Chains A and B, each alone.
Chain A
Amino acid sequence: MKSINSIDNFLRLPPFEIDENRKSNLFSAMMWKAYTFHYNNCPEFQLYCQKQHITPDKPAPALPQYPYLPVNIFKKHKLISVPENKIKNLLSSSATSGNVSTIYIDALTAKRQMLASSSITAAYLGNHRRPFLILDEDPLLSRSKNISARSAATRGILMFSDSEDYFIKNTTRGLVLDKNKLLRQLEVYENSREEICIFGFTYILYNYAIKFLKEKNITFNLSDKTKVVHIGGWKKLEREQISRKSFLNEIEMTLGIPKNNVLDFYGFTEQMGLVYINSGDSPKTVPLYAEIIIRDFQTLESVEEGKAGLIQILTPLPYSYPGISVLTDDVGRIIREGKDREGRWGTKFEIIGRAKKSEARGCGDIMSESMGKES
């Protein structure tokens, strides 16, 4: 491997072809570059890091020693590492609690996000573009500077599409499925045997399409190259007691495609561009551009493989804001390192769910202790 000196060149490397040993030094070097940049360009981040005694004049720390920003910090603080006139878009998280994270995106960060997400996704979908059936609204209808996480995710996946059909309309009665259009298009692609992708947010895909087909006892036998991509997590479906196993079974039953063709995408607004994908019931694989650490709910120390805790993700990707090390309020566990059954290198992990308020001691405390004052 030739010498990689810049984060932008690093993000052009293939996401799953470099083993852990070769990744380790490279990733550490890129993280230290990113850390030094944000330390020098974001005063709030610098203050936060100084309090933790990790400064660029010292040797680079081991990954678990990097200061991490609790994900909630982006709801309360405006964190920017570039001149404000360079900001092109404001990315907002979906808000279940009322408060939204706002992430400030410049052209370089947007470019890096697109590069990373398309390379990672291509490792699962391939490099060719195909028709997409989308269980959502058309994101091209909105060109606001403020982009919701849902819209951003849909825009990102459109890189893999050469034509789209949308089946959901947002009406005064809420989201409405165009059932006739969905049935018509599924029949077209069942007959043509064309390789397509069905895309939607997990909850919407299930509740508006799969459940409808199942209840009406309608089944299709789509091409076995058809992929189902879903994103957004399991929280709502778990409340309705739909297990991942029954979700996969019902997709297999109604659409006639193998479970391994169902791809579950995990990512979060604060590190948009990085996606963690698993097919069927396999674990997720961390791409070259990121690393995962699991932290104990109470002590926030990093825990060993197999133990559940809060998910922290490190990545040198963000340029316009200092989201390079973020402690989420999602709970997960590292399964193992090494290759998966398709030969992808990277740490394997699973998402268990969202931390209960009683579990997540850390986030509020870290913020008040480390940022000093709120902006």
Chain B
Amino acid sequence: MISEDKLHKDIYDIISGQFLIPKENITAVLGPGDLDNWDSIGHLQLVRKLEQHFNVSFTVPDVMSFDTVKDIYDTIKKLLA
């Protein structure tokens, strides 16, 4: 079982790597559209990286519900529980 701290750190690492932004600039309310490269393609690439890293599968409603970093965190936490 992954700890909440580790889950948080890993998600921020993946977002930072995907969108090439410093981790300090990532907040819980950051979401698609806030960054130039967090467009539909960036969103899909992020989804794939998260699935691979955490070994989870998102449904279409999961992917659509990712309005913020917090949404991503909550969904993965639920899937790993």
Interface residues of A (CB under 8 A from B): 88-89, 107-108, 110-111, 114-115, 118-119, 122, 127-129, 139-140, 143, 155-156, 158-160, 162
Contact = CB atoms under 8 A, between A and B. Distances in A.
B39 interface: yes
A120 to B, nearest CB: 12
Given A88-B36, A111-B33, A114-B64, A162 B41 contact: no
Given A127-B60, A128-B60, A140-B45, A89 B32 contact: no
B41 A140 contact: yes
Given A143-B41, A155-B40, A160 B33 contact: no
B45 A159 contact: no
Given A114-B40, A122-B60, A129-B60, 4 more contacts: A107-B34, A110-B40, A127-B61, A155-B40
Contacts of A107: 32-34
Interface of B: 32-34, 36-37, 39-41, 44-45, 51, 57-61, 63-64
Contacts of B58: 129
A128 to B, nearest CB: 6
A162 B57 contact: yes
4 closest residue pairs by CB, A with B: A107-B33, A127-B60, A127-B59, A155-B40
Nearest to B42: A143
A89 B39 contact: yes
Most chain-B CB neighbours within 10 Å: which of A88, A107, A108? Answer: A107
Given A107-B33, A110-B33, A111-B33, A118 B40 contact: no
Contacts of B39: 88-89, 110
Contacts of A119: 64
Contacts of A111: 32-33
Nearest to A141: B41
Q: Classify the interface of chain A: helix, strand, loop or mixed.
A: helix
Given A155-B41, A158-B44, A159-B44, A88 B33 contact: yes
27 contacts: A88-B36, A107-B33, A110-B33, A110-B39, A111-B33, A114-B40, A118-B63, A118-B64, A119-B64, A122-B60, A122-B61, A127-B60, A127-B61, A128-B59, A129-B57, A129-B58, A129-B63, A140-B44, A140-B45, A143-B41, A155-B40, A155-B44, A158-B40, A159-B44, A159-B60, A162-B51, A162-B57
A3 B39 CA distance: 31
Contacts of A122: 60-61
B46 to A, nearest CB: 13
A114 B60 CA distance: 11
A143 B33 CA distance: 15
B60 to A, nearest CB: 5
A156 B58 CA distance: 16
A169 B33 CA distance: 30
Contacts of B34: 107
Contacts of A110: 33, 39-40
A60 to B, nearest CB: 30
Contacts of B57: 129, 162
A206 to B, nearest CB: 27
A143 B37 contact: yes
